[in-house]
Amino acid sequence: MVNKIEVDLNALTHNVAIIKKHIYPETKIIGVVKANAYGHGLVETARVIWTSGVDILATATLEEAIALRVSRIKAPILVLGYVEPSEFWKAIDFDITLTIFDFESAYKLAREAKKQNRWARIDVAVDTGMNRYGFPTYEVLDIFQKIYKLEHLKIEGIHSHFADPEDKEFSRNQIKQMQNVLFSFQQMKIPIPMVHMAATKAIFLHPEAQFDAVRPGIGLYGYSGIEGNSELKPALELKSQIVALRRVGKDETVGYQRTYVAKGPRKIAVIPLGYADGYPRALSNKASVLVNGTRAKIAGIVSMNAIMVDVTGIKCSLNDEVVLIGGQGNGMVNADELAKLAQSNVCEILSRLPREIPREYHFK
């Protein structure tokens, strides 16, 4: 195989330990493995994260959750995204907790559970400023009272999501809104289920928002998104090979639209991986890869299934390993570097890596 992804399972275990270090001993960890575990591979990654001390696994879709169950992962599983009511029976059958953000869905789920003579598990989403999923805070008390009256529903949790944890004032307001909701529950003597709000950044920036559980995603994979935080270890490396070498003369061009013009005689290596393989076209003429431990800059526009890199002055041959994300020798190219160059974020860089690229798992 020319293109491959290597995942360091020890790094995943290390990252769980670091997150545990930053939370209270009684605080649970909900490990987010959505989007194919941020490109790392759903089942293999989820299994290691769970056995490393994560209490609950979270996915974006019911399909991901069922894939974990089929793979005999017995951890509690929460689906954070939307699920079609026609699929509710599957969630009940596989004992999967669903996020609820409208009463009609809660009613339909309760009806399906009653039909099966089973209990359905739910986690209620509260909108404190993200304006995505969740009940408005002024509706939550009334909604909870209605949901508690439905038969065959068990409320496992209540959660919200930060819009921008680095915006301290806005985040404090979100925390206050959540606290007000919980206070209203206490006043009405409504049982409060597991409360969770903080994802990776908020774990480090807002310890007061840990509540009963935290919900790290990208932090599990080695990135905090916080400048200067180096405790976490990136777990994924993306690798390929040199499959062709070209000699290019002065003023010759490379790639589509001829955006790279050689300033002198250059040696160009061709790598069989492009934007269809998850390597952003926005990195054209910007990013670097590692060839024998040395940085080599992309020459020209990233093609669908190939990139060209300038390896002038680098000793290299056909079939030599190329590292697009990860380390080689003394060199390092991390996903956060690529994210900045692509004006994106690490989550997008990693989660867009397609399932078709083979994954190899190692305890390094």
Name the residues annotated as catalytic: 34, 256
- Identify the CA nearest to 140 among candidates 96, 93, 187: 187
What CA–CA distances, in Å, run from 318 to 2, 100, 246, 270, 295? 12, 54, 11, 9, 17
Comparing CA positions, the residue from 330, 332, 284, 328 lying closest to residue 310 is 284
Partner residues linked to 121 by β-bridges = 154
Q: Which residues pair with 266 in a beta bridge?
A: 248
Calpha distance 88→127 (Å, rounded): 23
Which backbone phi and psi does 352 adopt, to 5 degrees?
-85, -5
Q: Is 17 helix (H, G, I), strand (E, B) or coil?
A: helix
Q: Which H helix or E strand runs over 57? A: strand 56-59
Give dist(CA 217, CA 19) in Å, integer: 11
Question: What is the residue whose two structure tokens read 């529950």?
Answer: 185
Specify the amino acid at residue 361.
Answer: Y
207 C-beta neighbours (distance < 10 Å), count: 14
Q: Is 335 left (phi over 0), alpha (psi -120 to 50) or beta?
A: alpha
Q: How many residues does the chain have?
A: 364
Neighbours of 313 (CB within 10 A): 9
Token pair, residue 269, equals 């290596």
Rounded Cα distance between 75 and 215, Å, is 15
> In angstroms, rounded to a whole number, what is the distance separating the alpha carbons of residues 136 and 145?
15
Contacts of residue 270, Cβ cutoff 8 Å, sequence gap at least 6: 242, 243, 244, 245, 246, 306, 307, 308
Q: In whole angstroms, how far apart are CA 233 and each of 19, 27, 33, 75?
A: 12, 22, 17, 24
